[in-house]
Amino acid sequence: MSAQRINTGSHALGALAVTVTLLLSGCSGSSSSNVRARLMDVEVGMTESQVLAIMGQPQRRESHGATEFLIYATENDNKTALISFVPIAMVEKRVTGIGRHVYDHVVRSKAQSDLRP
């Protein structure tokens, strides 16, 4: 699938829902289904409090620059949050993105900016 620029508005929300569904389609197990079902209620722009009310406490948190990630395991064992996880990106306590593609982009960008003199 090629990367596309997503315009704001209803197209962005629809594209986000499709992206989240595609990213999570490979997950299996009852815990994974539960995470997937709850994740469909999370939207860009929500506050951290709203996300926590829907998803519960994350298995872990990571900060990369101004972005904090709430990390949710997609398997039954919380330890798998190190390998099999869904990240929710937060900036200033608001959701800015959902999924591994967002996580990978932010982590790469932060690493590259740290290397600049």
- pLDDT for 114 equals 79
Q: What is the dihedral of CA 102, 104, 110, 111, to 10 degrees?
A: -170
Give the CATH class of 10-115. alpha beta
| pLDDT score of 21 more than 90 | no
Percent of the chain whose pLDDT exceeds 70: 64
71 vs 31 pLDDT, higher one: 71
Select from 89, 94, 95 the least CA-distant residue to 65: 89
| Domains of the chain, residue spans | 10-115
Mapping DSSP onto H, E and C, the string for 46-102 reads CEHHHHHHHHCCCCEEEEECCEEEEEEECCCCHHHHHCCEEEEEEECCEEEEECHHH
Confidence check: pLDDT of 56 > 50: yes
The closest alpha carbon to 106, from 47, 63, 59, belongs to 63
With H, G, I as helix, E, B as strand and everything else as coil, classify residue 105: helix
Q: Say how many C-beta atoms besides its own lie within 10 A of residue 85's C-beta.
A: 20
